[in-house]
Amino acid sequence: MEVVAGPMFSGKTEELLRRMRRATLAKQTVMLFKPVRDDRHGTTDVVSHDARRQNAIALDSSSDVEKQVAQAHHRPDVVGIDEVQFFDDDIVSVCNRLADDGIRVIVAGLDLDYLGRPFGIMPLLLAHAEYVTKLNAICSRTGRPAHFSHRIEGGSEDVQIGGAESYEALSREPYNDVVVRDHHRGATAE
């Protein structure tokens, strides 16, 4: 199992698609999945921020991944899952079962949520993976490596699908400044 993790705009999807393309060039059978809730670019494609795209199967739950693999015309050599953090908790077991069955599993997802907390099942996937690629974005304020996805627009729900209109990549210092500022703003509003 391979996990590609990092903040928004770090190239996670681009790296996933690169690995899937390389597997295809090597004449391997691939299947690519994404969560239905990520409908930013329609439901049938995985699309990176640099506009690379590949056809994918949009699914509601992790159990659907195994069903799709079992029903495939040809057993896949490689299974890719984009935005894996949006799947239910059982995705960890699903990925492990597929890997135990000899399928190369590559998942990409956010390691931290917009509040800087580990995002859903990502810590478990990182712990189970044989290979972990941790990517950084470029901080929109300092130009340094960015590890945080800061929500600049929207609500306070844990999961909010969005792109550059809703999020920016920040390095530690500006992220901490924003978190402290927002915390003080929230405290004075109460």
Structure confidence by residue, pLDDT tens digits, 80-130:
999 999 999 999 999 999 999 999 999 999 999 988 999 999 999 999 999
**Which pLDDT belongs to residue 169?**
94
Q: Are 148 and 116 in contact (CB under 8 A)?
A: yes
Q: Is 130 among the catalytic positions?
A: no
Kindly report, residue by residue over 54-77, the tens digit of the pLDDT: 678 899 999 999 999 999 999 999
- Fold (CATH) for 2-135: Rossmann fold (3.40.50)
Question: Which residue did the predictor score with more confidence, 45 or 112?
Answer: 112
Q: Is the predicted pLDDT of residue 41 greater than 60, yes or no?
A: no
DSSP 76-142: -SEEEESSGGGS-TTHHHHHHHHHHTT-EEEEEEESB-TTSSB-TTHHHHHHH-SEEEE--EE-TTT
Residues in a beta bridge with 40: 42
* 45 contacts: CB under 8 Å, gap ≥ 6: 53, 54, 55, 56
* Pairing status of strand 137-138 against strand 53-55: unpaired
By CB neighbour count within 10 A (0-12 exposed, 13-18 middle, 19+ buried), where does 156 fall? exposed
Kindly report, residue by residue over 152-189, the tens digit of the pLDDT: 766 555 555 555 457 899 999 999 998 767 655 554 44
Q: Please state the pTM of the whole predicted model.
A: 0.85
Residues in a beta bridge with 33: 57, 81
Pick the catalytic residue from 83, 153, 157, 165.
83
